[in-house]
Chains A and B, each alone.
Chain A
Amino acid sequence: SQTIHQWPATLVQPVGSPLSLECTVEGTSNPNLYWYRQAAGRGLQLLFYSVGIGQISSEVPQNLSASRPQDRQFILSSKKLLLSDSGFYLCAWSAAGNQPQHFGDGTRLSIL
């Protein structure tokens, strides 16, 4: 069966520090991969998605970037975090665009 792993579960970072969040998927090949951010009590905002290795689509101009160095690995990064980058970051995978997306347990990021 397929599984998705995100880490860390929680992270506290100072303003201006770098960020690297990792997401890996097991049990499937060539998945679509997605990064979302969710503010407290809000819906999901799509940040990036990828349909293949090295292919990244950005949905919202921002301080973050994404990379897909391997088929089942998706990384969310920032060179310098802002206070506004605080939130709950979720990674998801799907077999195709018109298939369910399956989410990881998320990373709660707090910027101080």
Chain B
Amino acid sequence: GESVGLHLPTLSVQEGDNSIINCAYSNSASDYFIWYKQESGKGPQFIIDIRSNMDKRQGQRVTVLLNKTVKHLSLQIAATQPGDSAVYFCAETPFGNEKLTFGTGTRLTIIP
């Protein structure tokens, strides 16, 4: 959903633990989904994406899960490190659309 004007939810995780960041979307026509990581003072950085014909995709230490039935997307980060501390955004778009709709964002803090 739209992220403008909303305060960021926060998640604190002990270093070395796994973290799960969730995102809900409302558009049943959404076809393409992305996760971004934004560190303080920088632009968002692409992490991983997934298309609607998949329900799971893995990268290096990250896994994205897509549940189209309940319109839910999650990002799992394994063995978290201090450098994982950042704000994480989900984004989605329907097929053929030129724009992304960004989620609220979640601030992840890794506790040493």
Contact = CB atoms under 8 A, between A and B. Distances in A.
Interface string B89-106: 101010111111011110
Interface residues of A, number: 26
Interface residues of B, number: 32
B45 interface: yes
B100 A41 contact: no
Contact of A103 (B7, B8, B43, B103): B43
Interface of A: 32, 34, 39, 41-46, 49, 51, 57, 59, 90, 92, 96-98, 100-106, 108
22 contacts: A34-B99, A41-B8, A42-B3, A42-B5, A42-B7, A42-B105, A43-B3, A43-B6, A44-B3, A44-B44, A49-B98, A59-B99, A97-B98, A97-B99, A98-B31, A100-B34, A101-B91, A102-B46, A103-B36, A104-B43, A105-B42, A106-B41
Interface of B: 2-8, 31-32, 34, 36, 41-46, 49, 51, 89, 91, 93, 95-100, 102-105
